[in-house]
């Protein structure tokens, strides 16, 4: 149950944290807030009072209420405090994320850092909440896997506030173009190229590609997919490039594949490039429904070399994601950044892992 004053309080705090209110800037007056939220003065004062006692605001009688300057003093850093790293990922417990996290955790705990985990479920609103939480606390560094990196990000202000507070951060998997932060990614364009090249070299020409395009990984893998076609002189059928976003991930690819499989034999794809193993496993079920054997009737290739690739019924040909090594690298880089060292972006090169889900087309 959300109380009115907490709504007002949180709304003001949001504006402080996302940079709408700059340090020492006057915020709306009490009467303005009364109108804005349609509440009594008492409620507004309660909300503001809360933030004043917590140090986010200060009041000057007759003048107004002002945003405090939270750029933290450096002397605070010197006292022996516990050292904390925040790690923001889209998911915590699924897929390859536990492994990435473990890589970072192992490394960081050796340097006496605690790791606190936050997940966004690939949702901007949750990313916002997480960032507010982190900004309200006292982390020494933040490792971020961006949420929907291919879309304009409404939370850029929070990242800028991290910079203002001198809290270093880096991004893995992708990064928001507006920020160009230190980052650790893999060469997804090459990865998409390798997936497709592998199939082209096996003689496939009617290849359908599924790409999640709300993050940059998907965009780049799609680019690699198209480049491979060009390089091999195979014209990519526009209908064979299926894009979807996170919300549709359980539905759109399945529906689209079914549509493609219902076509006459000559138009039917002979191979499928998947955004990642998770999708590949999902599509394997569709193929089973249609009584298509993999790889005899149709080839399929995944991405990430997750546990799904080797544990599923058909062992998937896939592209290797560094997983634990990426976690290591992220930990090392954030430690460097905390020591104010210069760092260079890291790009992992993908590798093809050939298993049983692809075969030569005769």
The Cα 335–Cα 347 span in angstroms is 18
Residue 51's binding partner, choosing from DNA, its own copies, none, with beta-carbon cut-off 5 to 8 A by kind?
Answer: none
Cα–Cα nearest to 244, from 269, 198, 211, 278? 211
Residue 125's binding partner, choosing from DNA, its own copies, none, with beta-carbon cut-off 5 to 8 A by kind?
Answer: none
Residue 64's binding partner, choosing from DNA, its own copies, none, with beta-carbon cut-off 5 to 8 A by kind?
Answer: DNA
Q: What is the DSSP string of 174-232?
A: ---TTT--SEEEE-HHHHHHHHHHHHHHTT--SEEEEEE-SSHHHHHHHHHHHHHHHHT
The Cα 280–Cα 249 span in angstroms is 12
Q: Give the footprint of its own copies on residues 45-84 (CB under 8 A).
A: 53-55, 80, 82, 84
Out of 14, 19, 30, 165, the residue judged to bind DNA by CB under 7 A: 30
The Cα 35–Cα 106 span in angstroms is 51
15 touches DNA by CB under 7 A: no
Using alpha carbons, list the distances in angstroms from residue 336 to 28, 186, 299: 41, 20, 44
Q: Based on CB atoms, which residue is closest to DNA, 31 or 293?
A: 31
Instruction: Number of residues interacting with DNA: please give it, by CB under 7 A.
Output: 24
CB contact at 8 A, 35 and 71: no
Out of 313, 341, 347, 351, the residue judged to bind its own copies by CB under 8 A: 313
59 touches DNA by CB under 7 A: yes
Out of 13, 45, 212, 229, the residue judged to bind DNA by CB under 7 A: 45
283 touches its own copies by CB under 8 A: no
Q: In degrees rounded to 5, what are phi and psi of residue 152?
A: -60, 135
The Cα 158–Cα 147 span in angstroms is 13
Q: Site map for DNA, 131-170, x if CB under 7 A?
A: ----------------------------------------
Q: What share of the chain is helix, strand, coil (3-state, %, to 5)?
A: 45, 15, 40
Q: In the complex, which residues of this chain contact its own copies (CB under 8 A)? A: 53-55, 80, 82, 84, 86, 92-94, 97-99, 101-102, 105, 109, 112, 114-119, 133, 137-138, 281, 308, 311-313
Q: In the complex, which residues of this chain contact DNA (CB under 7 A)? A: 1, 3-6, 29-32, 38-43, 45-46, 59-65
């Amino acid at each position: 149950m959300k109380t009115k004053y907490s709504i007002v309080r949180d709304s003001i705090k949001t504006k402080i944290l996302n940079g709408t209110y700059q340090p020492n800037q006057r915020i709306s007056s009490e009467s303005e807030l009364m109108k804005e939220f349609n509440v009594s003065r008492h409620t507004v004062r309660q909300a503001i009072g809360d933030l004043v006692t917590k140090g986010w605001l200060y009041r000057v009688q007759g003048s107004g209420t002002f945003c405090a300057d939270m750029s933290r003093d450096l002397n605070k850093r010197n006292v022996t405090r516990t050292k904390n790293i925040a790690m923001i990922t889209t998911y915590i417990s699924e897929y390859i994320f536990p492994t990435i996290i473990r890589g970072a955790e192992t490394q960081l705990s050796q340097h006496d850092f605690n790791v606190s985990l936050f997940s966004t479920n690939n949702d901007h609103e949750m990313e916002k909440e997480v960032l507010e939480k982190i900004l309200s606390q006292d982390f020494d560094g933040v490792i971020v896997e961006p949420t929907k990196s291919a879309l304009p990000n409404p939370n850029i202000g929070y990242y800028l506030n991290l910079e203002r507070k001198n809290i270093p951060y880096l991004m893995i998997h992708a990064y928001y173009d507006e920020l160009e932060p230190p980052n650790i990614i893999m060469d997804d364009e090459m990865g998409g190229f390798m997936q497709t090249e592998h199939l082209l070299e096996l003689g496939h020409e009617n290849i359908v590609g599924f790409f999640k395009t709300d993050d940059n990984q998907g965009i780049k893998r799609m680019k690699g997919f198209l480049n491979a076609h060009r390089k091999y002189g195979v014209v990519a059928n526009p209908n064979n490039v299926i894009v979807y976003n996170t919300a549709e991930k359980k539905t759109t690819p399945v529906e689209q594949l079914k549509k493609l499989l219902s076509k006459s034999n000559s138009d039917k794809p002979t191979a499928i490039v998947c955004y990642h193993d998770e999708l590949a496993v999902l599509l394997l079920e569709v193929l089973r429904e249609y009584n298509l054997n993999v790889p005899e009737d149709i080839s399929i290739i995944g991405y990430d070399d997750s546990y799904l690739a080797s544990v599923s019924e058909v062992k998937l040909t896939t592209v290797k994601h560094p997983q634990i090594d990426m976690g290591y690298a992220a930990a090392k880089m954030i430690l460097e950044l905390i020591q104010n060292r210069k760092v260079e972006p890291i790009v992992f090169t993908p590798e093809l892992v050939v298993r049983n889900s692809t075969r030569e087309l005769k």
